[in-house]
Amino acid sequence: MICPLSPAHFAGLGAFQLFALLLFLDARLAPLPLAAFVIASLSAPFFPRLGYFLPIVSRGDKGRDGVAITFDDGPDPAVTPGLLDLLDRHGVPATFFMIGEKAERHPDVVRAVLARGHEICNHSQRHDPFLMLKSGGVLRREIAGAQAAFARFGVVPVAFRPPVGITNSRLWRVLLENGMFCVNYSCRALDFGNRRFEGLAGRVLGTVKNRDIVALHDVTPRGGDVSKLLGEFESLLEGLKSRGINVVPLSRLIGKEVMARGASGAEASPAGRFYDGLAETYDAEQFGSAVGISRRTEQKLFRERLPELFDPSSRVLEIGAGTGIFTLEIARQCREVVAVDLSAKMLAILERKAADGHVTNIETLAGNIENIALTGLFDGACAFLVFEYIADLPAFLKHLAPRIRPGGTLYFITARRSFFRLFTQIGNAVRQGLWLKARSRREVERMLSAAGFDRIDVRTHLMKSVVSGGILLEVSARRSGETRVSG
């Protein structure tokens, strides 16, 4: 399901198409698009804000105020402890992009960073400046090695900053495999790893803007004058304060978590990590962006069907409940709802909503629905644009069917394969790195029938035309046959 499309893929495709076209028009010009593609691919890694090979977070989200201060290349026992005291005095949060092997050598400093409430992110295991010239295997080992080092402190970084900010075409897939994303910067002191730190504060204050991610280093400067370096940091913090620029945590500035506590990165899926990061802003994104038309259509369709789907005695399974966009309405109609989602952080938001609304009949389960342990039988199940994430949907439906009582209803809305849907699939692959499967009406009917469902009703909705026939499938089916499930 991992499909890390990037602008580089489309640039390459476009270059080859232009090459083929120019062969017929003027063969002398044909090599030019290919040459331009090669030059762009060789140059792009050296622009830390350019998302050519992968999405890169380098500034805060629009509408957010403040700047985030980040420190690379530590921890350093000579610099980091004094820096922590300085940050405490000014009440300023920071994010430390640490090197794995340094974290292993200086565990007390790492614990101090965490104890003071700062964030830790991955800056590779050894900080090889030529890492992006190495193989994908080396890149995987560098990232995984640092992740293992930080796991010993009970944290799993979600954000990765490559050494010297350089990226390559292999990084996107490796990060996806680890459920991570890339964070670079929009403002730096040009301190060359504190080899040129004199005047650092002035250089940053001369260029810093709202929503900037500032890149600094917590490493011993050339000559070993740590007090002078800390003085530059203090001048910077005082300068930001005098200008009314707030320093906020990186996670708040970008609207995504950059570090998880007490979690195993190996157990986290790319989709789960992706949605953990979006949890706090998910509802606003779903209804305030281009996908809002799809969500509003889903809600309208679901509300029209809800009275006939479930009754007050029903026990319902909701697959991919997320932040509870549909869950609370289901719960008010039913006896009990078991809400399952990959993202524990989304479910925590759902639980808060339920508590605020005095809804007490929702049980949440965090995990992959394809292998999570479910107990008891359900009178119905539902899902909303979730089945696209399931690689083998026919097998999953056969696994799900015995959990639904005979006569129970499975209701879901899913992506319909069509000309227009293809563009949203490509857009999702570029943004999220995952290829979401869309299916035809006949495919859905066949897999439901094979899983033991009857009275199958499939309707198409949204952007219906002669060309597309709609991009959503609304599906309801009844569970047929007898069921024998213990537990």
Q: 247 with 68: CB under 8 angstroms?
A: yes
Q: Which strands sit side by side in the sheet containing 315-319, from one edge to the other? A: 362-366, 336-341, 315-319, 378-384, 404-415, 472-479, 453-461
**Helix 80-90 and helix 226-242, axial crossing angle in degrees, nearest 10:** 20
> How far is it, in rounded angstroms, from Cα 330 to Cα 306?
8
Active site residue 217: yes
> How many other C-beta atoms can be found within 10 angstroms of the C-beta atom of residue 440?
14
3-state helix, strand, coil in the chain (%, to 5): 45, 20, 35
Which residue carries 């489309």 as its tokens?
A: 10
DSSP 182-249: EE--SEE---TTTTS-TTHHHHHHTT--TTBEEEEE-SPPTT--HHHHHHHHHHHHHHHHHTTPPB--
Q: Which two tokens stand for residue 386?
A: 């979730």
The alpha carbon of residue 223 and the mean position of all alpha carbons in its chain are separated, in whole angstroms, by: 41
List the one residue out of 303, 301, 344, 355 whose CA is nearest residue 321. Answer: 344
> How far is it, in rounded angstroms, from Cα 418 to Cα 439?
9
Q: 353 with 328: CB under 8 angstroms?
A: yes
Beta bridge partners of 64: none
Q: Which two tokens stand for residue 222?
A: 């050339």
Which residue in the list 106, 118, 127, 217 is annotated as catalytic?
A: 217
Beta bridge partners of 160: 122, 182
Q: 120 with 146: CB under 8 angstroms?
A: no
> How far is it, in rounded angstroms, from Cα 87 to Cα 256?
22
> How far is it, in rounded angstroms, from Cα 439 to Cα 475?
12
Q: How big is the chain, counted in residues?
A: 487
> How far is it, in rounded angstroms, from Cα 397 to Cα 205?
58
Pairing mode of beta strands 472-479, 453-461:
antiparallel
Residue 133 DSSP SS3 = helix
Known catalytic residues are 72, 217
